[in-house]
Structures are given as structure tokens and as C-alpha cells.
Structure 1
Amino acid sequence: MTCAVIDAYGIARFLPAALRRHGVECVHVRSATPDVHLDYRPQDFSVDLAADPDPAVTAALLRAEGVEFVVAGAESGVLLADALSSELGTPGNGMTHPAARRDKFAMVEAVAAAGIPTAASLSSADAERTVAWAAELGEPPVVLKPVASAGTDNVYFCSSAAQIREAHAAILADTDRFGLRNTTVLAQQFLDGAEHFVNTVSRDGVHHVVEIWRYNKRPAPGGRSINDFDYPLDLDDPTARRLAAYVLPVLDALEIRNGAAHTEVMLTARGPVLVECAARLGGAQLPHVISRCLGIDQVDALAQAIAAPHRVLDGTLPAARRLTTLRYVNLISPGAGVVPSGAGWDRLRALPSYLDMVLTIPEGEPVVQTLDLVTSPGYVYLSSDDPRQVAADYRRLRELELDGLYGAHAAAPAPDPAPAAAPVR
């Protein structure tokens, strides 16, 4: 069997090896606008194609390579993967309204049309219309962001008309993570609650929940928020079950039938509400770390769903089970500085629960104050059988950052933002 991976960037760079472990060969297709911030390993492919503007031309090339399955690797490959699957007649997603899997406003409309709770939303290139909409909503703050970007790119929390105008202008003046100019702005009702993500794989419309994590975020300058740390939930936890029961109908509403999905959900006082759903693998993670701590990872689960669809259809594909306490911590630079090199990381690596680290900005390169995922220097995994050790090492990591880890200093250590009622993970 041969699978075409569209934009094997970021987390998808691990997919070719996983597919080959399960007996599937790969070819690679590069879309016109991949996310250049993400890692990519062209050496993993013997066939590496640049997509033609006409999907039929690219599909003919894939047909000649014997491709039987097409899958999106990164967000930039979602629409192209759908178009190529449709051209080839291979297992794919529904094509009633494929744009709803990329355009976040169309996404909300499709999910709401299925009777699933969503946030009040508006898509507009007119700042004054957005100001009027927010005033009518009467629930400050409101969230502004691009309609089709990824990560935490240009996400603003606005409590006044002036802030809305400023954020609206900033978004329209910028490009998204794929180098495309933002031409409209998505405004959404602020969702107060605990944010989670649910990673799934699907085959022939049957969905399998691989893992569920909780985000912890913190405010950032300029009305933004940044991801602080994440931890996995036990899938038999009542909260996890509630989130899964919400997400599976969302996948149906978006016609996600084959491949992976990464769905972000806010658990509010009125119940789960969609933040957004991406029809591809979840973002920055190390699969070998996730498998070590949870027994399986989404990359391997996707490879199995492609190679052996019966494992999804008959329910024998494994799901995550928490084998140890695990915390994924985003590195946060408090100001301008430099990414440490070599021994500069020794104090961090000496933390008793330190497991692994990924740098998204190379050692020795300058850093600015972290405002989003793009400006984060990377991430660290902390893991231990003792949850108290993980919590203590997290606090120590933040102290090291504020004490000049990047040559940037701040006045006081940041507190652990985990709510008192939440279990320490």
C-alpha cells in the first residue's frame, strides 16, 4: 500500500516512519503554502512532489505511483488532501462543504447547523461592524483572530471598542502562518472555562479517541494569551467522557471521515463548546515520549488506521492510558535574549522529572518576549511517578527562565496557574 502525505511538516514529519512500521510506503506532496516555521525531513521520501495548481494533474501523478490513501500532515495540507482524495476516489472526507475544515467561521456555522453548541461568531473585514457586533453581544471580552491560521497566531482578547479596532487592524496588516495575507477577521464570544484538546483518528466515518489533554494558559502582553503547560486526562475520567461525547458529533458535522483530527474544546458552565477543529494531527509533540507515558500516540494511531482500518472499525485500536504523570511545558522567554547553547541548559536538564526537550528556535539564536507559539523557544516534557515532583520542577523551570536562562530577567517567578480544584498532573 502507498500513502500520499500532504505537507509532512511539524508533527507529520514522524508519520512516514510510523507508516513504514505498519507496512505502508509513502510519497510526499508539498502544497503551495506550507508553514515554513515547522520542521520537514525530505530525506524520508523517495518521491517528493510540488503540487500543481490543478489537483487533477497532481492526482494523475499520484495514481501513477499507486497511491491508495491521501492524508493531510499539517494544517496547510488539509484542503489539498481533500481535493486529491476526491480526484483519486480514495478514502477521504466529505466534500459537501470542505472549506468548513479550514475556515473557522464556516466551521462554526456547520457545527451549529448540526445542533451542537458553539460560540457566537462573526467574520468581517470591517472593524466597525465588528465593534457593533461586540456591543450587541454585550459580553466582553471578545476574541479576535484570523479565520484560517493555526497555533496561537494573532489571537487577541478585546474588552473595548478601541482594543477591537487595534486588534482588527493588526490582524489585517499581517500574514498568517502560511504566508497569506489576512483578508478578514474572526470575532468570537469569549468562552470562560477550562480548555482541552481531543486527538482522534477516523476511518470510514468511525471515530477513535486517542487522547485528551487539558491546556493551561496565561495572559500575555497586548491582550493575548499563551500556552503555559498541558497534561493528559484519563479517558475514563468523567470530564474526558463528556468531552469525547461532544467531539464525535463535531467530526460528523465537519464530515471528517478518514484521517486525524485535533479538536479544541472549552468546558464552560453551559457545557463543552467548540473552539476549533483541525482535520489533521495535533501539533507539537514527540510521539515516542507520548507512547512511553500513555502507551500510544496519535501518529502511530493514524498509521494503524491507514494500514489496518479494521482496528478502528472493530474497536481494537488502543487508546491512551496514563502510565505516569506527564506535563508538556512551553518555554517562555520573559524578554529579549538568546536561546542557550550546550551547558546553558544543564540546570534545566538536571530537574529530576526532566524527560525531553524540543527547541523551535535554534541554540544561539535571538529570542524576543514570548507572545505566542511562534515566539516560544520550544517545549519541555516533565514526567515522574510522583506528581508533586513534576509540579515542583515546573515551578523551578519558570524560575530559571526569569533568572536569566535566556539572558532576559523579570522581577518575580510566575505562579503555577493550575486551579486549586484541579488535580496536579
Structure 2
Amino acid sequence: MSRNPVVAVVDAYGTARHLGPLLRERGYALLLVRGPEAPPHEPDDGDPAAELVCSERPEELLGAVAAHRPVAVLTGAPSGAGLADLLSEGLGLAGNGTGLSAARDAGPLPGEGPVEGTFHVNTVSLDGRHHICDIWWAPRPPGADLWDPAGDVELLPRRGERQDRLADAAFAALDVLRLRTGPAHCVFRSTPDGPRLMGVRPGIAGRLPLLARQALGAGQLEWTVDAYVGPEWFRMRAGRDYGAY
């Protein structure tokens, strides 16, 4: 068992695999927890992290994770959100609880008519305080993966009438779903009456956090790590406009 404090990440695959290096830079050991919907994944070479496969008996997995004494349980890919809720609640750690896990997993909301393009709002929250990491416009109609737009995307400035409406709507949706801690991704369709919410998904949002890192120097990945292991730093900076980091 590592002497460094341990952070458990549920479903650390895809873009969420970049959480591991950020946590190790902060001096944390990484415990990978693989849920039943996650593809097999292996720790990076030299990574001392252990991987736990989700058991059909959650209490067994909870005990196995508890043995590592994690200081935090993070949602990696969105598939891990429900299990992260279960583990954090069972271990008495910061999280969103299991009361609304089913509602959070409901998927995209129905909409009327074709979707010409989508807006994407990435957030990270801590104890109910929400921060906008980045806002994107994807002009192409969404493909099979609504949450990870294909083709070119445009990073919008943080401020503007449209962006302020998106931010307010995203915050309201997070509050309804009681997503008080951790990363989330909100998708809106463009309508003549303004953006309309299509869905909210807890977890790290496709490739957009990597694009935000390139454009801004920090994005949802970095803010997620701050929320869990650097809360004072998060609170000090939350609410600032990106581009002013």
C-alpha cells in the first residue's frame, strides 16, 4: 500500500486517464476502480496504482476500496458517475450522493425538430459552488456521441449574452440534479428562442477538456483535481472568467 495519500478514480479511461498524471504531480497515489461499463484499461508503466474490477456485490468493492483509505473518490469517464456516488457516500467522502443517481444517468432530454448545432458547457463544482471551465459551439449536427462533438468546435469567450444564458441554465440544471461536487458536461441545442438544454452528464467531457488545456492552459481536468485535493485553491479562483487564469 502506498505511503502517499490515495485518490480513487472510477473509470479512468479516455480523456479521464489524464487525471492520473495530475494527481501524481500533487503527490497522490492513484487507485483505479473499473466499473462494469468501462473497457479494460491498464495503469501507465511504472504507475503503482491498483485496479479493482467492479463486483456484483457493491459492498465487497466498497470494502476493497476502503482498505486503501482514499482521501477522495473522483468520477473519471461519465460511466463511472453512479459507482463514484456509491463509493464516496459509503466512505463518507465528498460527492453527490446516490439519491439522484438514476436521474443523472437518464441521458439526453428529448427535443423537437432537427438539431443544427450544439453548445457545450463544461463545469466543475465544489460543495455547490459551480465554475464554468469552458463553453463551446459545435456547428455540425451531433452524431452518435452527443457528448463529444465531431469536427471543428469553437471556444466561445466566457462573457456575452448567449454565454451568460448558457451558464445560468447549466447552473440551474446542476442544482436540480444535486451535482454539487465534481465535473459535469451540459449540452444545449440551438433554437430560435435561444439555447435549450438537451442533457447533463457527470464526469470528464470527451476531448473538449484537452482542447481547453491547449487553448487556456487549464480546463476541466485541472479544475477537477483542484476541487478534490486543492479545495482552497479552487474556492479562491472559482468564478473567474477563463482566459484570465
TM over 0.5, yes or no? Answer: yes
1-structure distance, mates of 2:25, 2:48: 15
* Higher-RCO chain (CA-CA 8 Å, sequence separation at least 6): 2
What corresponds to 1:97 in structure 2? 100
1-structure distance, mates of 2:39, 2:198: 21
Deviations 1:345-384 (A, max 9, x none): xxxxxxxxxxxxxxxxxxxxxxxxxxxxxxxxxxxxxxxx
Residue identity opposite 2:49 in structure 1? S
Equivalent pair of 2:182/2:224 in contact (CA under 8 Å):
yes
Residue identity opposite 1:278 in structure 2? R
1:59 matched to 2:62? The reply is yes
1:317 Cα deviation after fit: 7.1
1:2 Cα deviation after fit: 2.0
1:314 Cα deviation after fit: 3.9
1:35 Cα deviation after fit: 4.4
Residue identity opposite 1:79 in structure 2? G
TM-score (structure 1 length as normaliser) = 0.51
1-structure distance, mates of 2:224, 2:164: 21
Relative to structure 1, the CA distance from residue 269 to residue 35 in structure 2 (aligned partners, 3 Å threshold; closer, same or farther) is: farther
Equivalent pair of 1:55/1:87 in contact (CA under 8 Å):
no
1:21 corresponds, among 21, 25, 33, to 25
How many pairs are equivalent?
234
The higher radius of gyration belongs to 1
1-structure distance, mates of 2:113, 2:60: 43
1:80 matched to 2:115? The reply is no
2-structure distance, mates of 1:32, 1:102: 15
Deviations 1:195-230 (A, max 9, x none): 11000101111111100001121598xxxxx73311
Equivalent pair of 1:304/1:311 in contact (CA under 8 Å):
yes
**What do you get for the CA RMSD once the two structures are aligned?**
2.5
* SS of equivalent residue, structure 1 residue 217: coil
1:310 corresponds, among 194, 217, 232, to 232
* SS of equivalent residue, structure 2 residue 139: strand
1-structure distance, mates of 2:157, 2:183: 20
Equivalent pair of 2:187/2:200 in contact (CA under 8 Å):
yes
* SS of equivalent residue, structure 2 residue 119: strand
1:71 Cα deviation after fit: 1.4
Unaligned runs of at least 5 residues, structure 1:
109-120, 122-187, 221-225, 324-425
Query: How do residues 127-206 of structure 1 correspond to structure 2 at under 5 angstroms?
Result: 188-190=111-113, 194-206=117-129
What corresponds to 2:191 in structure 1? 268
Structure 1 residue ranges, 4+ long, deviating more than 6 angstroms after superposition: none
Unaligned runs of at least 5 residues, structure 2:
144-148
1:238 matched to 2:161? The reply is yes
